[in-house]
Amino acid sequence: MNETDLGQVVSGHVKWFDPARGFGFVVADDGGPDILLHANVLRNFGQSSVADAAGIRLVVQRTDRGVQAVEVLEILPPAPGSGAVLEDLEDIDESSLSLPLEPARVKWFDKGKGFGFANIFGRPEDVFIHIEVLRRSGLADLMPGEAVGLRVIEGRRGRMAAHVTAWDAALREPVEEHMEDHG
């Protein structure tokens, strides 16, 4: 375990996170009590949700109410093969992760139904987002109007997200330019 000015650096995985309740818990790789992960700490990292079982590296502090995360340093998607299967997901491979990020806004996403849609800036058609793609991307849920970066492929039923990233994280990568003159 490393030390920082804020506290100890801990690696672990997300036990569960509920965006509606605004918190969740992380289990450290080296054991110990569950670590409280508050939504504000996650938002400071640039995400509004995180997938259950996602790998995570945090700075934590011990308080009188237990161990709490004070900063998220890294989030890794859950291991493949532990979620739902969708035939279009067969088309998603490592090369999909090298596709350019496209700026998009979430139209709607229903975690219970397991899918939703987003719109790429400057394009009229919807992009399908499956919950398994979201989970593989390290996210658990999306809110209407949320800004995201999408890597898009042509699926069997049209354009679909192969990878989703929070917009704050997308800003750290080059984005494909779609700003043609529509005048």
Asked if residue 4 has pLDDT above 60, the reply is: no
Q: What is the CATH number of domain 87-170?
A: 2.40.50.140
Mean pLDDT, residues 168-180? 57
Asked if residue 172 has pLDDT above 70, the reply is: no
Q: Quick check: do 2-76 and 87-170 share a fold? A: yes
- Predicted pLDDT of residue 17: 85
CATH superfamily of 2-76: Nucleic acid-binding proteins (2.40.50.140)
166 vs 38, residue with greater confidence: 38
Residue 168 burial (CB count, 10 A) = 16
What are 82-122's pLDDT values in tens digits?
Answer: 444 455 566 676 777 778 889 999 999 988 778 899 999 88
Mean pLDDT, residues 135-139? 86
Asked if residues 79 and 138 have their Cβ atoms less than 8 Å apart, the reply is: no
Ordered by start, the domain boundaries in the chain are: 2-76, 87-170
What are 20-74's pLDDT values in tens digits?
Answer: 888 889 999 998 889 999 999 999 998 888 888 889 999 999 988 889 999 999 9
Angle at 137 (CA atoms; ends 82, 39), nearest 5 degrees: 100
Residue 76 has phi, psi (to 5 degrees) of -115, 135
